[in-house]
Amino acid sequence: MGFLENKARARLFYKYLSQVYDTINPFIWNDEMRDEALSWLAVGEGDRVLDVGSGTGFATEGLLEYTDEVYCLDQSIHQMEKAFAKFGKHSNVKFHRGDAERLPFADNSFDHLWSSGSIEYWPNPVDALEEFRRVTKPGGRVLVVGPDYPNSVLMQKLADAIMLFYDESEADRMFTEAGYDEFEHHIQQASQGSPKAITTVAAVPEE
């Protein structure tokens, strides 16, 4: 398990990263990648969407172009404060502080669920994916963006020491164990040589 796959260490990490997150983020996860992923999620007007690991609100900004019913959840108050500055603490965006592995929502609460740049910090990703399936309505979609496993052996060792990196076969295992029957993976990259993201879109099974 990587150093940052620990909730307390991840919160401390984001306390400092939040100061420069919006400056660094476009080199790894930019508008074009986000918008492409949003097209796969296919949010409709009036859909209720949960953004897990919403951070400073980069994905939230894109989701708001499709629906006004956006709920944000993050464990880092420092990241959330940056989002408050963008949207207002009492705006139409509903903010919740919480844990991806224990979502504070009832079953079938959302039409779709989005999570980008968060799975790499979860100690138990399958547990979180099960929670995503629980709170999303049958037939809805769950989209998860994480860091693609590097090809270099040296970079693999470095990645494993820091946080969760995974490839398509590992994504297959996690989503299958979490109870999803239908899903697809996409590899995204901001520019040649930049880190790759693996974006999985999964359909929540019909009951």
Q: Is 145 exposed, middle or buried (0-12, 13-18, 19+ CB in 10 A)?
A: buried
Residues in CB range of 116: below 8 A, 6 or more apart: 29, 34, 37, 53, 58, 59, 143, 144, 145
CA-wise closest residue to 105 among 131, 75, 139, 128? 131
> CA–CA distance from 160 to each of 156, 183, 197, 199 (Å)?
6, 25, 16, 19
Strand partners, 189: 196
To which H or E segment does residue 29 belong?
A: none
C-alpha dihedral sign at 26, 32, 33, 37: positive
**In the chain, domain spans:** 7-24+48-189+198-203
152 CB-side CA count, 13 A: 7
pLDDT for 101-130, tens place per residue?
999 999 999 999 999 988 988 889 999 999
Kindly compute the dihedral angle of the four CA atoms of residues 81, 84, 85, 90, in this order, to the nearest 10 degrees. Answer: -140
CA gap 35, 92 in Å, rounded? 21
One pLDDT digit (tens) per residue for the chain, 207 residues: 554 445 555 454 444 344 544 555 555 679 999 999 999 999 999 999 999 999 889 999 999 999 999 999 998 888 888 888 888 765 789 999 999 999 999 999 999 999 998 898 888 999 999 999 999 999 999 999 998 765 654 444 554 555 567 899 999 999 999 999 999 999 999 888 778 899 999 999 987
Whole-model pTM: value is 0.84
Looking at domain 7-24+48-189+198-203, its CATH class is alpha beta
